[in-house]
Amino acid sequence: MTRHLSKLLFSELDLRRTLDSQESAIATAVEAYSADRLTHEPEEQLVAHFTEQFRVDAPVLTEGAISIAAEEAQVDVSGSFDRDTMGQSPFYVPGMRVTYFVPFTGDPNLFRYSPSARTFNPPHADVVNNELQFKYERADSEVAATKPEFDAELSKVRQYLSWLLGDVSMYNASLPARIRAKVSDRRSRLEKAQAGVQALGFPLRQGPRPHPSPAPAKPVRPGGDPEAAIAPKYDVALSFAGENRGYVERVAEILKRAGVSVFYDGFEKATLWGKNLVDHLARIYQHQSRFVVMFISQHYVEKAFPSHERQHAQARALVVKDDYILPARFDDTEVPGLAPTVAYADLRKLSPEEVAGLILEKLGNKR
């Protein structure tokens, strides 16, 4: 018998109610902003500033980096029907404690919130920093017997995260319009008051004007997608498995010579040195690229970091609802979350030069 030791997820607070209540917090933040800055800074910059402040980052699991630990433990079996404990409680026997570790990116607090769609049986796990921990005990040494329980809980977590992402995506998409309305309303009131002062005919006392605030790091696209009023850092990011590096590197070099801003890890060795790669790559593949070219192979699906990159690219594609992911296939390996009807480039028939040409054409069409 396997016993859960972890806490209930997605059950403490109501997500939609919390997101709806942000309206007053946004209004308060806009009203508290410097009046001089509000009237002189570009509207898109202001919208981007407040969107970055109030946007929500839904968790995304890094399933390619799952790990496990097993240790000896004294297991209480007093509640087991298959053991005669003679009314003793607790009643300990030697056994094993097994923990599965699943890293994720995004806001860990969101695991406390119940999405608008839900079941009567939410998953169990402990949230420790940016990691889910699924803990089980058994009164024997059958560690493998915990795997079906873990798989079932992880499947429920995936389902809940998909529901939560739907709520969060709708909220994030609505932010720019809601913020723009509040900024415009306060600007109108300030301009009306200024016109009234000038109409009185008295000299206007001038105070020192603060320097405009710097542009925010994450601008916003019309329609609510972060990272967009200003061009993203990379025109294209290349996602691939190391076994296919030779082919991909030739594509990257051609793009670089053509003046394309391309994220290829071979060009970024100094930049990546010392970085937390889980977080850094998540930003690049979800927020900082115009396109992601996914070089698909059996190795690509099986390995940890390509899977991490893919999951964040797919999270972005879900929001922008555009041809953000450009799949290219070395073989016919099925990719989780990628619809079979999506058109792809067949690398079995195309040279690196031809693939680079397709990417350049795609970039040209979107300029």
* Residue span of the structural domain in which 50 resides: 1-188
Buried b (16+ CB within 10 A) or exposed e, 331-362: eeeebeebeeeeeebebeebebeebbbebbeb
Task: Name the band, by pLDDT with cuts 50, 70 and 90, for residue 239.
Answer: very high
Residue 220 pLDDT > 50: no
**Inside any domain, residue 248:** yes
**Percent residues over pLDDT 90 in the chain:** 44
Residue 323, pLDDT score: 82
Mean predicted confidence (pLDDT) in 58-85: 78
Mean predicted confidence (pLDDT) in 66-79: 81
Residue in 116, 212, 219, 217 with CA at minimum distance from that of residue 175: 219
Residue 74, pLDDT score: 78
Range of weakest confidence among 94-103, 160-169, 202-211:
202-211
Q: What is the pLDDT of residues 271-318, one digit of tens each?
A: 898 888 888 898 899 888 999 999 999 999 988 889 889 888 887 777
Residue 81 pLDDT > 80: no
**Inside any domain, residue 215:** no
**Cα first-last separation, the chain:** 60
Residue 340, pLDDT score: 77
From 188, 222, 254, the end of a domain falls on 188
Residue 345's SS3 state is strand
From 150, 165, 188, the end of a domain falls on 188
Judgement on whether residues 11 and 155 belong to the same structural domain of the protein = yes
Task: Name the band, by pLDDT with cuts 50, 70 and 90, for residue 85.
Answer: low
What is the pLDDT of the chain when averaged over all its residues? 84
Range of weakest confidence among 70-74, 108-112, 251-255:
70-74
Judgement on whether residues 165 and 272 belong to the same structural domain of the protein = no
**Inside any domain, residue 213:** no
Residue 1's SS3 state is coil
Mean predicted confidence (pLDDT) in 216-234: 46
Residue 197, pLDDT score: 78
**Inside any domain, residue 9:** yes
Residue 99, pLDDT score: 93
Judgement on whether residues 22 and 168 belong to the same structural domain of the protein = yes
Q: How far apart are CA 125 and CA 108, in angstroms?
A: 12
**Inside any domain, residue 214:** no
Question: What secondary structure does DSSP assign to 20-35, as a single string?
Answer: HTHHHHHHHHHHHS-H
Which CATH number does the domain housing residue 254 bear? 3.40.50.10140
Residue 83 pLDDT > 90: no
Range of weakest confidence among 5-19, 86-100, 216-230, 232-246:
216-230
The residue type at 2: T
Judgement on whether residues 34 and 134 belong to the same structural domain of the protein = yes
Q: How far is C-alpha 111 from the chain's CA centre?
A: 14
**Inside any domain, residue 281:** yes
Q: How far is C-alpha 297 from the chain's CA centre?
A: 23
**Inside any domain, residue 221:** no
Judgement on whether residues 46 and 180 belong to the same structural domain of the protein = yes
Q: Which residue has better confidence, 188 or 92?
A: 188
Mean predicted confidence (pLDDT) in 320-337: 85
Q: What is the pLDDT of residues 154-179, one digit of tens each?
A: 999 999 999 999 999 999 999 999 99
Q: How far apart are CA 239 and CA 335, in angstroms?
A: 13
Residue 366, pLDDT score: 53
Residue 152, pLDDT score: 94
Judgement on whether residues 253 and 132 belong to the same structural domain of the protein = no
Q: Which residue has better confidence, 183 or 318?
A: 183
Name the phi and psi angles at 345, rounded to 5.
-90, 130
Mean predicted confidence (pLDDT) in 60-70: 90
Residue 363, pLDDT score: 85
Residue 214, pLDDT score: 42
Judgement on whether residues 273 and 346 belong to the same structural domain of the protein = yes
Residue 188, pLDDT score: 92
Q: How far apart are CA 58 and CA 53, in angstroms?
A: 15
**Inside any domain, residue 273:** yes
Q: How many domains does the chain have?
A: 2
Total residues found in the chain within this entry: 367
Judgement on whether residues 261 and 352 belong to the same structural domain of the protein = yes
Judgement on whether residues 274 and 142 belong to the same structural domain of the protein = no
Mean predicted confidence (pLDDT) in 27-50: 90
The residue type at 239: S
Task: Name the band, by pLDDT with cuts 50, 70 and 90, for residue 79.
Answer: low
Beta-strand ranges (E) seen in 87-181 are: 92-105, 113-114, 126-127, 131-138
Judgement on whether residues 152 and 266 belong to the same structural domain of the protein = no
**Percent residues over pLDDT 70 in the chain:** 85
Judgement on whether residues 182 and 269 belong to the same structural domain of the protein = no
Judgement on whether residues 183 and 254 belong to the same structural domain of the protein = no
